[in-house]
């Protein structure tokens, strides 16, 4: 089992969610987060004539825990759909997961990550 942490643009979230659903990745957690990075404001934010520097960059952090066989397709999907080509598209990190349980069924391991429709 692996944990995929993807930091993506908030504007790309709906597309990414739909695309992940297409490849049967239906369960993940996300949280709105702020980052520090290279993206510069293009003078878009202005208040009373003074430009506001984007000191903080709003992003969304997705935490997806998948079985080993699904890692490649998930990462490929994220890389493809969350891309815009502009500075600040985000990052993906992979970490191993030691063990996982599903609270309702008490299942553990790979069985806890099976989708409900799978046999």
Partner 1 sequence: MKKIYILLMCLVVAFALTSIFSSYALAEKKPDPAGTATGTATEIAPAKTGEQLSVTDVANQAGHNKVAINIMWTLITGFLVMFMQAGFAMVETGLTRAKNVAHTMAMNLMIYPLGMIGFFVCGFAFMFGGVGALGTLGGFDGLNHELTINLFGHAFGLFGTKAFFLSGGYDVGVFALFLFQMVFMDTTATIPTGAMAERWKYSAFFLYGLAVGTIIYPIYGNWVWGGGWLAQLGSNFGLGHGHVDFAGSSVVHMTGGVIALVGAKMLGPRIGKYNKNGSPNAIPAHSIPMAVIGTFILAFGWFGFNPGSTLAGTDLRISIIATNTMIASAFGAFAACLWMWWFRTKKPDVSMMCNGMLAGLVAITAPCAFVNVGSAAIIGLVAGVLVVESSFFFERTLRIDDPVGAISVHGVNGAWGVLALGLFADGTYGDGWNGVTGTVTGLFYGNGGQFVAEFIGVIANLVYVGGISWVVFKLIDMIVGNRVSAKTEMDGLDIPEMGAEGYAGIKLDKNAETPLSR
Minimum distance from CB of 33 to partner 1 (Å)?
12
Minimum distance from CB of 16 to partner 1 (Å)?
25
Of the pair 47, 117, the CB lying nearest partner 1 is at 47
100 in Cβ contact with 1 (< 8 Å):
yes
Return the residue of 55, 86, 98, 116 that touches partner 1, per CB under 8 A.
55
Return the residue of 48, 104, 106, 119 that touches partner 1, per CB under 8 A.
48
42 forms part of the interface with partner 1 (CB under 8 A): no
Q: Taking contact as CB under 8 A, which single stretch among the options 4-12, 47-55, 67-75, 101-109 is the one that binds partner 1? A: 47-55
**Rounded to the nearest 5°, which phi and psi values hold at 98?**
-75, -45
**Rounded to the nearest 5°, which phi and psi values hold at 47?**
-135, 120
Return the residue of 18, 51, 97, 111 that touches partner 1, per CB under 8 A.
51
Of the pair 56, 101, the CB lying nearest partner 1 is at 56
Can you spell out the DSSP letters for 44-111?
--EETTEEPP--SEEEEEEEEEE-GGGHHHHHHHHHHHT--SSTT-EEEEEEE-S--B-TTT--BGGG
């Amino acid at each position: 089992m692996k944990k995929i942490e993807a930091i993506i643009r908030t504007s790309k979230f709906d597309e990414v969610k739909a695309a992940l659903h297409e490849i049967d990745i239906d369960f993940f957690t996300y949280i709105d987060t702020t980052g520090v990075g290279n993206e510069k404001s293009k003078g878009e934010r202005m208040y009373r004539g003074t430009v506001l520097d984007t000191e903080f960059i709003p992003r969304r952090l997705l935490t997806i825990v998948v079985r080993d066989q699904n890692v490649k397709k998930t990462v490929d999907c994220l890389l493809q759909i969350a891309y815009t080509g502009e500075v600040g598209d985000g990052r993906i990190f992979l970490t191993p997961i030691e063990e996982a349980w599903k609270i309702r069924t008490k299942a553990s391991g790979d069985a806890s990550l099976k989708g409900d429709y799978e046999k």
